[in-house]
Structure 1
Amino acid sequence: MSERDDLENPNGLTAQSSSSSSSSSSSSFVSTLKILFQSIAILLRHRLHFLSIYALTALPLSLLLFSLAVSVHPIETRVRSLESLARLSPTRFESRQVLKESRSDALSALRLRASYSLPCLALSLAALASSVSSASAAVSGRRPSLPSAAAAVRDRWPRSLVTSICVYASMWTFLSVTGTLRAILAGSPGPRFAVFFVGSVVEVYLMAVLGVALVVSVLEERVGFDAIRVGSAIMEGSRWSGFLLSGVFVLLTGSIWRVLEGSMDGQDWTSLIGMVRWMVGIGRRAWLVLLYGLLVMSSYVVLTVYYCNCRRRNNNVARGLEAESEMAEVENL
């Protein structure tokens, strides 16, 4: 475009940028669908292998998490009830007694969660390493096997453990900051909603970055915050796809837990009849356990396919830049 055309059409640059942004968003959507279909194809092509990983790692992890949720829900419900009762107590002495009982129940819930933490962490690391290594082999055209998956768990769990701790610390820090801001803005509905909305969007993107960091810790010699840094750099040029994939899994996971919590709310946990009635109906909710375990394993496979696509794209870009620099050097000579 000549200088005269630029002067006569000053909005040309704006039109080009808007068209490029729209094409970028549409290409991100198409890329996201391709990643999902490629992941489904990998799972179906090697279904016996991934069913074995699912039965050995993801399904027991889902059973433990659902068992923890069912066990701790009555205690947390009682804690909330006691805290509400303490605020309505007519005297300070009665309020202190109720709060003391509430703290005792809260400590019981904390001890219960702690007892589940180690087996859940071990199964989570096993599901991560085995699923990621198997999916990476499938993307590369190799046939995954259980011995190679077991070797990946044995050799790479220390890196995954350190990275998981850093991932948890990063997410906990972010949620603490947004929770504090919402508490400060409790009397201002508008700013409080803005913080909630922006925080939710950033949280979904942060989960994408942290998920890729876990894949990096399995497939590369990266550990902790270095894996998070590399994971964020790898997503360059394909961040919208990562955001969309993270949003899909956040929506599905949230839906599963909302269904479970909805079935537990309103139950009479103080009576044996109420608890038995809910436990008898647990068969109707068994599909939630199966679905959540499948979702955990599938998320690792999808993140691995996304990681491999980002790596391939970055390598192609790097080779293109090297070719351009070599041509420029030749022309200068």
Structure 2
Amino acid sequence: MSEREILESHDPRASTSPPPPPPPPSSSSTVRIIFESIAILLRHPLHFLAIYALTALPLSLLIFSLAVSAHPIEIRVRSLESLARISPTHFESRQVLEESRSEAISALRLRAAYSLPCLVFSVAALASSVHSASAAVSGRRPSLSSAATVVRERWFRALVTSICVYASMWAFLSITATLRVALADFAGLRFLAFLIGSALEVYLMLVLGVAMVVTVLEERVGFDAVRASLALVSGRRWIGFVLSCVLVLLTGSIWWVLETSMDGQDCTSIVGMVRWMVGIGRRAWLVPLYGLLMLWSYVVLTVFYCHCRRRRTSGVGRRGEGENEVALVDIL
């Protein structure tokens, strides 16, 4: 009798139930995840519209307001730093640098004033949209009451993880900036470092984004959520990388349109300030669009997380069944 017949004779389920079908890893493509996330928004429009109006839209308005308010200050800082470099005397250069430092401190204070409300709306948008998208993927109907409960119960967890995420991204960007400065005299190496650094930055954004989803849906906080995200994403690196590229491209396009309307404007005169404000007003549609993009990105990352979790769970189940069969053979 063969080994397989021995196994089937000792396993009563072998003759009654067919073997479990293998998971469809190829179907978990980037296009499928994108369309599935859009379908979730379309199946529950009123629910996600409420989340959008209460969290994502105010967050987008705050972010754009900060960018518009800080842009003239940043222009003055850059112009003062350029003037200090060409000043004929050390005394004049020091005076200009002191003025530039004062402007930089005012910009820092402005960002600090915006940081708390931005963080509050960001955590609320993340927790509510991730929980709702996860419920929709599982076939359940999301509700505003359950989303509000998740925000109330898991806001501290999301806050701690977001701090770790920002620290990780800041450390990475600091390393890449230092490397570019060190390779300033080597154009080829600098370009290569730029390409590698950009690819790693996009992948890191994916890992950190999934880490925020992990901290909402699992009992993981801080760098533990980042480690869990790294383990989940490892089986879907290329799909996740393409998803992250799509999100980065869409976000970058919105900011490029905004910056082109702000750059080159003379904010020192009244006429220049009026022209600058008119140019910004014509692009006010970017605010709701950016809020919608943020909400959709949370849903996309949640769908991607669910696909990775399902694949990991099915893989563990198949390994467990294989170990049981090997153990039974050893016993026989």
TM-score by structure 1 length?
Answer: 0.90
Partner of 1:20: none
Higher helix proportion: 1
Partner of 1:193: 191
- Aligned-partner Cα distance in 2 for 1:44–1:293: 16
Deviations 1:233-275 (A, max 9, x none): 1123211111111111111111111110110001110112222
Partner of 2:99: 101
- Aligned-partner Cα distance in 1 for 2:55–2:132: 14
1:90 partner amino acid: P
Partner of 2:5: none
Question: Alignment partner of 1:238: what SS?
Answer: helix
Answering whether residue 178 of structure 2 is matched by residue 180 of structure 1, we say: yes
Partner of 1:16: none
Deviations 1:56-99 (A, max 9, x none): 10011010110100000000001000100011001111100111
Partner of 2:123: 125
Structure 2 unmatched runs, 5+: 1-24
Displacement of 1:280: 2.9
2:268 partner amino acid: T
User: Which of 60, 75, 78 is residue 77 of structure 1 equivalent to?
Assistant: 75
Partner of 2:204: 206
2:74 partner amino acid: E
- Aligned-partner Cα distance in 1 for 2:166–2:58: 21
Displacement of 1:276: 1.9
Partner of 1:5: none
Please identify, of 91-100 and 236-245, the stretch whose mean Cα deviation from structure 2 is larger. 236-245
Question: Alignment partner of 1:144: what SS?
Answer: coil
Partner of 1:134: 132
User: Which of 261, 264, 267 is residue 265 of structure 2 equivalent to?
Assistant: 267
Partner of 2:309: 311
Structure 1 unmatched runs, 5+: 1-25
- Aligned-partner Cα distance in 2 for 1:264–1:139: 41
- Aligned-partner Cα distance in 2 for 1:55–1:274: 33
1:110 partner amino acid: L
- Aligned-partner Cα distance in 1 for 2:199–2:54: 34
- Aligned-partner Cα distance in 2 for 1:231–1:68: 31
User: Which of 222, 226, 249 is residue 224 of structure 2 equivalent to?
Assistant: 226
Residue pair 2:261, 2:279 contacting (<8 A) in 1 also: no
- Aligned-partner Cα distance in 2 for 1:179–1:206: 16
- Aligned-partner Cα distance in 1 for 2:26–2:173: 31
Displacement of 1:278: 2.5
Structure 1 runs of 4+ aligned residues shifted over 6 Å read none
- Aligned-partner Cα distance in 2 for 1:55–1:268: 34
Question: Alignment partner of 1:286: what SS?
Answer: coil
- Aligned-partner Cα distance in 2 for 1:326–1:236: 26
- Aligned-partner Cα distance in 2 for 1:236–1:214: 16
Displacement of 1:281: 3.7
Displacement of 1:319: 0.7
Partner of 1:298: 296
- Aligned-partner Cα distance in 2 for 1:237–1:79: 45
Partner of 1:328: 326
Identity of aligned residues (%): 72
Residue pair 2:57, 2:288 contacting (<8 A) in 1 also: yes
Deviations 1:185-234 (A, max 9, x none): 11111111111110000000001000010000000000000000001111
1:57 partner amino acid: T
Partner of 2:149: 151
Displacement of 1:27: 4.1
TM-score by structure 2 length?
Answer: 0.90
Displacement of 1:287: 1.6
**CA RMSD for the aligned pairs?**
1.2
Partner of 2:17: none
Residue pair 2:211, 2:228 contacting (<8 A) in 1 also: yes
Partner of 1:253: 251
2:41 partner amino acid: L
Partner of 2:63: 65
- Aligned-partner Cα distance in 1 for 2:232–2:279: 46
1:184 partner amino acid: A
Displacement of 1:283: 3.5
Go from structure 1 to structure 2 and tell me whether the alpha carbon gap of 1:257 and 1:316 turns closer, same or farther (over 3 Å shift).
Answer: same
Residue pair 2:62, 2:114 contacting (<8 A) in 1 also: yes
Partner of 1:44: 42
- Aligned-partner Cα distance in 2 for 1:93–1:147: 63
Deviations 1:133-156 (A, max 9, x none): 000010111111111111111000
